[in-house]
């Protein structure tokens, strides 16, 4: 059983914002594999199904970004998921250019409050994550940046990045995280 978690904020007003790129990734995956994400479980919306022969649970935490761990940690515990090998978290990253992705096996939260809360409640930073670039905050107002929407050009870049995210998830499920890192990681400065 694998948990594939996309981070975001619930409520319609956050749809299409930079912070909700994880939710968008879950929507793309659910559409491709016909997995409806509509069951309420452990403070999240979940959908259970199969991807390339692997049992998966797609997850959209409904706790708001900063409390994402309140959904992820109980689900990992309930389904006896090993975070190192059976959990992947998809989130936005302001350190990456819009539309680029970065796959990592573990690491710090990099200033991302959703990841910070997951790390705190799992008690470990050793879990795979796929970070989707949403561009750097240039005016110093990080909240407005991550809760803001893309211009048309950046929207196209993010939409195009979803194929890379999907490919990285498929490689993760096959136990080929190194291959995903080699194929999709860009050479950009990170934390």
pLDDT digits (tens, 9 = 90+) for 101-111: 999 999 999 88
Which helix (H) or strand (E) segment holds residue 55: the answer is strand 54-61
14 labeled binding residue:
yes
Q: Within a 13 Å sphere around the CA of 177, how many CA atoms are in the beta-carbon half?
A: 15
What whole-number distance in Å separates Cα of residue 191 and Cα of residue 176? 24
pLDDT at position 191 over 60: no
- What lies within 8 Å, CB to CB, of 24 at 6+ separation is 6, 8, 158, 162
The per-residue pLDDT of the chain, averaged, comes to: 94
Helix, strand, coil fractions of the chain, as percent rounded to 5: 40, 25, 35
pLDDT at position 186 over 80: no
What whole-number distance in Å separates Cα of residue 119 and Cα of residue 15? 25
Which domains, and CATH codes, for the chain? 2-184 (3.40.50.1470)
State the pLDDT confidence band at 146, using cuts at 50, 70 and 90.
confident
State the pLDDT confidence band at 188, using cuts at 50, 70 and 90.
low
CB 172 within 8 A of CB 127: no
pTM of the model: 0.94
Looking at 18, 19, 60, 116, which residue is catalytic? 19
54 labeled binding residue:
no
How would you list the strands of the sheet with 101-104, edge to edge? 39-41, 44-51, 54-61, 2-6, 87-93, 129-133, 101-104
66 labeled binding residue:
yes
Active site residue 19: yes
38 labeled binding residue:
no
Q: pLDDT, tens digit, for every residue of 75-126?
A: 999 999 999 999 999 999 999 999 999 999 999 998 899 999 999 999 999 9
34-54 average pLDDT score = 97
What whole-number distance in Å separates Cα of residue 35 and Cα of residue 31? 7
């Amino acid at each position: 059983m694998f948990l594939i978690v996309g981070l975001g904020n619930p409520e319609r007003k956050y749809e299409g914002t930079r912070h909700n790129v994880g939710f968008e990734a879950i929507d793309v995956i659910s559409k491709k594999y016909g997995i409806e994400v509509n069951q309420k479980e452990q403070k999240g919306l979940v959908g259970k199904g199969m991807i390339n022969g692997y049992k998966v649970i797609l997850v959209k935490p409904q706790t708001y970004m900063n409390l994402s761990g309140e959904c992820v940690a109980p689900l990992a515990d309930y389904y006896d998921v090993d975070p190192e090998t059976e959990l992947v978290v998809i989130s936005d990253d302001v350190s990456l250019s819009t539309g680029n992705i970065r796959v990592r096996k573990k690491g710090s939260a990099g200033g991302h409050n959703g990841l910070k809360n997951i790390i705190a409640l799992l008690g470990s930073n050793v879990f795979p994550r796929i970070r989707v670039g949403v561009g750097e905050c240039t005016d110093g107002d990080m909240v407005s940046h991550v809760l803001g929407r893309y211009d048309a050009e950046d929207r196209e870049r993010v939409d195009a990045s979803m194929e890379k995210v999907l490919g990285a998830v498929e490689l993760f499920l096959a136990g080929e995280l190194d291959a995903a890192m080699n194929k999709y990681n860009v050479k950009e400065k990170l934390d």
